[in-house]
C-alpha cells in the first residue's frame, strides 16, 4: 500500500493536513534536539521528512539513519536527498522491518517514529525492538495520531472518513489507502492507552503532550 502511494505521499500529507503536519514534525524535532543525541534512528522514515528535519536541527556530525520496509518510500527519500544535498552530511537510508530491526542492541541515543507505530502489524513487538536498539538512558519519541477532544470529534471524523479518502483518492489514485488511514486512526489508542503500552514494553518514564486539539500526540519515553 505504501509503495503505491509513495510518489504522491508528501503532496497528500500537505493537502490533507492543511500543512500542519510540518508543525507536528517540527515539535518532534525540537524535543529530540533537547535530548542532544549523537545518533538517531528514524524508524518508518517513509519519504524522510522527519530525518531531513532532524538533519537541519541537530548539530553537524550527528549520525542519522532512516529506516523503512518500503523501498519505493526510501527511493523518494533518496531522490530528495540527491536533489538537495546537505553540507551537514548525508542521512543513511536503509531498508529494514520495524518488527525485526537489522540493527545491533543499544546502538542509538534516540529513536523517532512518526505516524509509523500505528501501521506496525505488531505494536508491542515494534516497541520492544525500538527499546532493544536504544542505549540505556536513550529516548524514544513517538509522534502519532491520537483521539481528539470530544467536541471536535464529529468534524474530525467527517474530515477523516469522508473528505480525506475523496481528496487523497484524487491526488494519489488510491482511495483505499486513505480509507485505511481513517480506520487505523479510529482503532489507535489515546494518550493514556499508548503510554501504558510503552510502559509495558519496558520504558519506566513516559510523558506525552497533545497537539491540535488532541488530533496528534507526542510521547517521549526513556529506556
Ligand atoms: C504514514 S508513513 C510515515 C512516514 C514518515 N515517518 C512521515 O512522518 O511522513 C508510515 C510508514 O511506515 C512504514 N512501515 C509500516 N510498517 C513497517 C514495518 N514493519 N517496518 C518498517 N516500516 C514500516 C511504511 O512503509 C510507511 O513508510
Which residues approach ligand 1 with their CB closer than 6 A?
2, 44-46, 49-50, 68-70, 73, 97-99, 114-116, 119-120
Distance 117 CA to ligand 1 centre (A): 8
- pLDDT for the residue numbered 174: 87
Task: Please determine, for residue 8, whether its predicted confidence score (pLDDT) is greater than 90.
Answer: no
Three-state SS at 103:
coil
Q: What is the model's pTM?
A: 0.95
- What pLDDT was estimated at residue 171? 87
| Å from CA of 55 to ligand 1 middle | 19
What is the pLDDT at residue 66?
A: 98
Instruction: Over range 174-184, report the average pLDDT.
Output: 87
pLDDT in tens, 58-81: 999 999 999 999 999 999 999 999
List, in order, residues 6 or more apart from 179 with CB less than 8 Å away.
Answer: 161, 165
| pLDDT tens sequence across 131-148 | 999 999 999 999 999 999
pLDDT in tens, 26-39: 999 999 999 999 99
Grid cell locating 215 = 488530533
- Phi, psi (deg, nearest 5) at residue 106: 50, 45
Distance 160 CA to ligand 1 centre (A): 19
Q: Hey, what's the torsion of the CAs at 64, 67, 70, 75, to 10 degrees?
A: 20
Average pLDDT over residues 154-169: 89
% of the chain at pLDDT higher than 70: 100
Q: Calculate how far, in angstroms, residue 67's C-alpha sits from the geometric centre of ligand 1.
A: 9
| Residue (of 25, 24, 32) closest to 213 by Cα position | 24
Distance CA(27)–CA(135), nearest Å, equals 23
Pick the atom of ligand 1 nearest to 46's CA: 27
At 196 the pLDDT is 98
Of 117, 119, 120, best ligand 1 pocket probe by most atoms within 8 Å of the beta carbon: 119
pLDDT of residue 180: 85
82 CA distance to ligand 1 centroid (A)?
21
Amino acid at each position: 500500500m505504501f509503495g503505491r502511494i509513495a510518489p504522491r505521499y508528501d503532496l497528500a500529507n500537505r493537502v490533507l493536513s492543511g500543512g500542519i503536519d510540518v508543525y507536528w514534525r517540527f515539535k518532534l524535532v525540537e524535543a529530540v534536539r533537547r535530548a542532544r543525541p549523537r545518533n538517531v534512528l528514524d524508524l518508518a522514515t517513509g519519504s524522510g521528512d522527519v530525518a531531513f528535519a532532524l538533519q537541519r536541527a541537530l548539530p553537524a556530525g550527528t549520525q542519522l539513519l532512516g529506516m523503512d520496509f518500503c523501498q519505493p518510500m526510501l527511493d523518494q527519500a533518496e531522490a530528495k536527498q540527491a536533489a538537495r544535498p546537505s553540507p551537514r552530511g548525508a542521512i543513511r537510508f536503509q531498508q529494514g522491518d520495524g518488527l525485526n530491526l537489522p540493527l545491533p542492541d543499544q546502538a542509538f541515543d534516540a529513536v523517532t517514529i512518526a505516524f509509523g507505530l500505528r501501521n506496525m502489524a505488531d505494536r508491542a513487538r515494534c516497541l520492544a525492538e525500538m527499546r532493544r536498539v536504544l542505549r540505556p538512558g536513550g529516548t524514544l519519541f513517538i509522534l502519532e495520531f491520537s483521539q481528539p477532544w470530544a467536541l471536535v470529534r464529529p468534524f474530525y471524523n467527517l474530515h477523516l472518513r469522508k473528505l480525506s479518502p475523496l481528496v487523497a483518492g484524487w491526488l494519489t489514485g488510491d482511495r483505499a489507502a486513505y480509507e485505511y488511514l481513517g480506520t487505523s486512526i479510529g482503532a489507535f489508542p489515546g494518550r493514556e492507552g499508548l503510554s501504558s503500552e510503552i510502559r509495558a514494553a519496558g520504558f519506566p518514564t513516559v510523558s506525552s503532550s497533545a497537539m491540535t486539539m488532541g488530533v496528534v500526540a507526542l510521547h517521549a519515553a526513556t529506556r
